[in-house]
Structure 1
Amino acid sequence: MILVTGVTGVVGRQVAHLLARTGPVRVLARRPERVTVTGPNVEVCAGEYADRPGLDRALNGVRAAFLVTNSATEPDDERFAAAAREAGVRHLVKLSMLAVGEPGADDFITRRQRENERAVRESGLDWTFLRARTFMSNTLSWAPAIRSDGVVRALYGTSPVACVDPRDIAEVAVRALTRPGHEGRAYALSGPEAITARQQTARLSEVLGRSLRFEELGLEAAREQLLRKYPRPVADAFLESAERQRAGAKAQVVPTVREVTGRPARPFRIWAADHAEAFGRSQG
């Protein structure tokens, strides 16, 4: 049995969907009613990382697990790894971030992810880290303004990032979960091109068949926007990350998706076409 966490997020959901096509999969969810992965091969377990009895139930009989954690303060990786070890799980595949392996990245979120990786590495379990670049799906945050005003507002519109399709991350995860030889590996995952927010806006305009306008979001406006959603250390970390992107630190393309899955990573134009409905129906 394979256990998948983070199934209400874009990567965990795709991992569970892919696994359910070929065999049984168990998913852990704090709110089971929000799980959209269904079918005869899917077993849903209610629980969360701080709920040890719930973790124990979910991990019973599990040989490998896909781990996604999001809290900037809770020791969720330590909790999960300890419970997994006691349950006899052999392999953890953890979703991480590419900045973890980059010496110039020292923001709050990156430091926390390094600590999380260390907890998994020191757990005694076999592990695989999926160090992903920015998700293409992050541009879904632009959808309301695109639908209402035909505008994209973002910080540093000419800063390139080799963003990655979450479906590609999920396919790498499934390979690591179901095939031998991935233990002890830290995979850097990017898309096939470095693309800016202005270029992403142009791709979306082509897909939707209507004109879109890009507006540069000033630093203070971006800060205020982030602080409405996140605590200050997290908001500051996002801004530090944006500065690294502005300096070109996120533009490198790596071939890992092709090396692991046997096919090239999907470009942003493909992701955009496949998610056009979220931004408004195409007129073409």
Structure 2
Amino acid sequence: MRRQKTVLVTGATGTVGRQVVSRLEHSGVQVRAMSRDPDPLGTTAIRGDLTDPESVRAAVSGVDAVFLLWPFATAEKLPPVLDAIAGHARRVVYLSSAAVRAGERHAEQLIEQSGLEWTFLRPHAFSANTFAWADQIRSGGVVRGPYPAAATAPIDEHDIAAVASSALTSEGHTGAAYLLTGPHLLTQEQQAHIIGDAIGRPVRWIDTPIRDARRDMLALGWPAAVVHDILRAQADLVTTPGPVTDAVREVTGAPARTFRQWAEANADRFRDTARLSST
């Protein structure tokens, strides 16, 4: 009798990782959800830390495939982790990004050289990135920031997880690098308005000077280089909007979810519950 497939999911408490765990479990796949703090994850959880290759080696024993989230700016410490994975699993699905920054490019190169069957996921802007606006929307029904006309096709984290699950458990994805987006281009201002529609309360965009945005991001502790890259990317998206691909449909057979569907499903995160309870 054929052994049931087992998949190790790293970053299992993250935006995408927890959806990968849920989708695989729903499909009947045996899952190991790896986290430094596995307590909230239930019976599928296993303790592990990507900075500790020996813990990865223990977690990956008997596993067929690995969903790899590498949350570090550089890939310098990735080789021993890949060695641990390659000692047991035959396949890795790596969550990269559409930007393929220097650290991600290095990680992809190391994975290509590892001897593993590999698939790269390169999502563009996450719909969930707009959770960063939630406090402003709850308190005042506004979003303050530069570049309201910066346009992307935001992707739902469930769709990233659907593509990951297919790549982890079915054939035909080895050597593929999937650029993942949602189905429609939307400016930042349009996204804010759609969130307003979802919560039943208008949301306005207030354009702010770039210097103010830079100051606020630095005050939150963001590295200066990251702040520079984000603001430069937003400026570029005003004149050259992000891509739109049909990769989600091509891999999963189902169309990517719209930003409006995502906003309606997550509307409670943007609602002022204190205001609602007083009305």
TM-score of the pair, normalised by structure 1: 0.89
Q: Specify the SS of the correspondent of 2:106.
A: helix
How far apart, in 2, do the equivalents of 1:16 and 1:48 lie? 17
> 95, 110, 113: which one pairs with 1:122?
113
Residue 249 of structure 1, CA deviation: 4.4
How far apart, in 2, do the equivalents of 1:206 and 1:274 lie? 12
Q: Does 1:6 align with 2:7?
A: no
Show structure 2 runs of 5+ residues with no match.
Answer: 1-5
How far apart, in 2, do the equivalents of 1:50 and 1:97 lie? 21
Residue 31 of structure 1, CA deviation: 2.0
Q: Specify the SS of the correspondent of 1:131.
A: strand
Partner in structure 2 of residue 106 of structure 1: none
Contact residue 154 and residue 197 of structure 1 kept, 8 A: no
How far apart, in 1, do the equivalents of 2:121 and 2:205 lie? 32
Partner in structure 2 of residue 103 of structure 1: none
After superposition, the CA RMSD in angstroms is 1.6
Partner in structure 2 of residue 201 of structure 1: 192
Letter in 1 for 2:224: R
Partner in structure 2 of residue 280 of structure 1: 271
Partner in structure 2 of residue 229 of structure 1: 221
Residue 9 of structure 1, CA deviation: 1.1
Residue 76 of structure 1, CA deviation: 4.5
Partner in structure 1 of residue 49 of structure 2: 48
Partner in structure 2 of residue 30 of structure 1: 36
Contact residue 154 and residue 182 of structure 2 kept, 8 A: yes
How far apart, in 1, do the equivalents of 2:60 and 2:7 lie? 9
Contact residue 29 and residue 45 of structure 1 kept, 8 A: yes
Partner in structure 1 of residue 148 of structure 2: 157
TM-score of the pair, normalised by structure 2: 0.91
Q: Specify the SS of the correspondent of 2:99.
A: helix
Please list the CA deviations of residues 239-283 of structure 1 after superposition, one character each: whole Å capped at 9, or x if unmatched: 222222223141x21110011111111110000000001001697
Letter in 2 for 1:16: V
Residue 8 of structure 1, CA deviation: 1.7
Q: Specify the SS of the correspondent of 1:10.
A: coil
Please list the CA deviations of residues 102-124 of structure 1 after superposition, one character each: whole Å capped at 9, or x if unmatched: xxxxxxxx122111111111111
> Which portions of structure 1, spanning 4 or more consecutive aligned residues, are displaced by more than 6 angstroms?
none
Letter in 1 for 2:54: P
How far apart, in 1, do the equivalents of 2:156 and 2:241 lie? 19
Letter in 2 for 1:131: R
Letter in 1 for 2:221: K
Contact residue 125 and residue 154 of structure 2 kept, 8 A: yes
How far apart, in 1, do the equivalents of 2:119 and 2:132 lie? 29
Contact residue 119 and residue 175 of structure 2 kept, 8 A: yes
